[in-house]
């Protein structure tokens, strides 16, 4: 079945964010002869439409009032884009924007939202939305009977779109009044490659035994390449003050979907797995052969990380 898909885009430094391009890539594959359009809000939106690969049409407003996300302002603009585009599917990133906008938009449109999806697939006519359930221990697949189907989708769930930017732009109204005042914002302390963007994430847990263990995790990341690998942590390690909260993976931390997730001395509690179960390949290093993490791992190394990690680093260095 042909689908008319609207991607609710987000801007990052005046360009469509990486997740926006991934959603457009997914939309290209799911449209099946239907249309793909994108909404972009905030300073530079019109210019960014030219970089929105895969979208035929972009619904834009350059109003700087959209630069800070306020749900009710975005909701009005996105609803207008849904109406004008005739979308029967709306894809939004599982971000600060998507978490609030997804359910509000669905409620406004009298339809349903599938939140935090890891995949959206065409199952011979009906779209199937798959999302983790039970704290990441199971995957639940939904179809949505009402239109438009609204879904928020995790980063790295699709390959980014290819091709030129949107050929046509349509102006959306500027932002209306908002009852929400944003009093300030703080940038989380984190330098270099972000764990959500890294192809490889190496996370350390309480089993590292001391904060110094994270130096070894960073050495492993450096051996793989700091342009590819970043270091995360379990909540237990973060709560102990061994690594910054910005690097926490899990239910109350960040959700990562890297190509490779290396869990070092992490038991694999469901709250941790909720943040990494979408990884393409999980490798676990743990001295307890019965640790829960091995139930999720494609490859497991039973052993003391203090022996295993330096050996891995040595082998990686030989490959360079």
Ligand X SMILES: Cc1cc2nc3c(=O)[nH]c(=O)nc-3n(C[C@H](O)[C@H](O)[C@H](O)COP(=O)(O)OP(=O)(O)OC[C@H]3O[C@@H](n4cnc5c(N)ncnc54)[C@H](O)[C@@H]3O)c2cc1C
Q: Which residues bind ligand X (CB under 6 A)?
A: 205-207, 234-237, 248-253, 265-267, 269, 271-272, 275, 285-288, 291, 304-306
Distance of closest approach, residue 19 Cβ to ligand X, in angstroms:
20
Q: Which two tokens stand for residue 225?
A: 């390449």
Task: Give the residue with the Cβ less far from ligand X, 77 or 301.
Answer: 301
Task: Give the residue with the Cβ less far from ligand X, 141 or 271.
Answer: 271
Q: What is 35-83 written as a DSSP string?
A: -EEEEEESTTHHHHHTT-TT-SEEEEE--GGGSS--HHHHHHHHHHHHH
Task: Give the residue with the Cβ less far from ligand X, 144 or 236.
Answer: 236
Q: Which two tokens stand for residue 40?
A: 């972009």
Distance of closest approach, residue 71 Cβ to ligand X, in angstroms:
24
Distance of closest approach, residue 308 Cβ to ligand X, in angstroms:
8
Distance of closest approach, residue 253 Cβ to ligand X, in angstroms:
4
SS3 category, 209: coil
Distance of closest approach, residue 315 Cβ to ligand X, in angstroms:
18
- Tell me the CA distances in angstroms from 247 to 117, 203, 210, 239, 256, one per residue in order: 22, 9, 16, 12, 10
Task: Give the residue with the Cβ less far from ligand X, 66 or 214.
Answer: 214
Task: Give the residue with the Cβ less far from ligand X, 144 or 291.
Answer: 291
Question: Residue 129: beta bridge partners?
Answer: 120, 142
CA distance 234 to 297: 16
């Amino acid at each position: 079945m042909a689908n008319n898909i609207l991607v609710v885009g987000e801007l990052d430094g005046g360009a469509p964010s990486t997740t926006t391009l991934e959603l457009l890539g997914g939309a290209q594959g799911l449209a099946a002869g239907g249309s793909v359009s994108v909404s972009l809000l905030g300073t530079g939106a019109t210019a960014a439409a030219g970089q929105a690969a895969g979208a035929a049409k972009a619904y834009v407003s350059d109003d700087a009032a959209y630069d800070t996300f306020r749900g009710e302002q975005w909701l009005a603009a996105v609803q207008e884009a849904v109406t004008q585009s005739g979308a029967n599917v709306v894809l939004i990133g599982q971000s600060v924007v998507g978490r609030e906008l997804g359910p509000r938009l669905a409620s406004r449109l009298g339809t349903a939202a599938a939140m935090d999806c890891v995949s959206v697939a065409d199952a011979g006519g009906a779209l199937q939305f798959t999302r983790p359930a039970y704290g990441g221990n199971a995957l639940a697949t939904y179809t949505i009977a009402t239109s438009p189907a609204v879904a928020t989708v995790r980063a790295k769930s699709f390959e980014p779109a290819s091709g030129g930017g949107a050929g046509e732009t349509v102006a959306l109204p500027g932002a209306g009044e908002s009852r929400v005042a944003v009093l300030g914002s703080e940038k989380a302390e984190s330098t270099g490659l972000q764990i959500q963007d890294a192809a490889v994430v190496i996370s350390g847990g309480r089993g590292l035994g001391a904060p110094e263990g994270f130096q070894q995790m960073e050495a492993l990341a450096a051996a793989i390449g700091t342009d590819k690998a970043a270091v995360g942590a379990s909540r237990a390690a973060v709560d102990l003050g061994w690594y910054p909260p910005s690097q926490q993976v899990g239910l109350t931390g960040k959700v990562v979907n890297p190509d490779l997730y290396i869990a070092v001395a992490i038991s694999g509690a469901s709250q941790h797995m909720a943040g990494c179960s979408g990884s393409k390949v999980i490798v676990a290093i743990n001295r307890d052969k019965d640790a829960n993490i091995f139930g999720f791992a494609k490859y497991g190394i039973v052993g003391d990380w203090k022996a295993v990690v330096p050996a891995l680093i040595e082998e990686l260095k030989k490959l360079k």
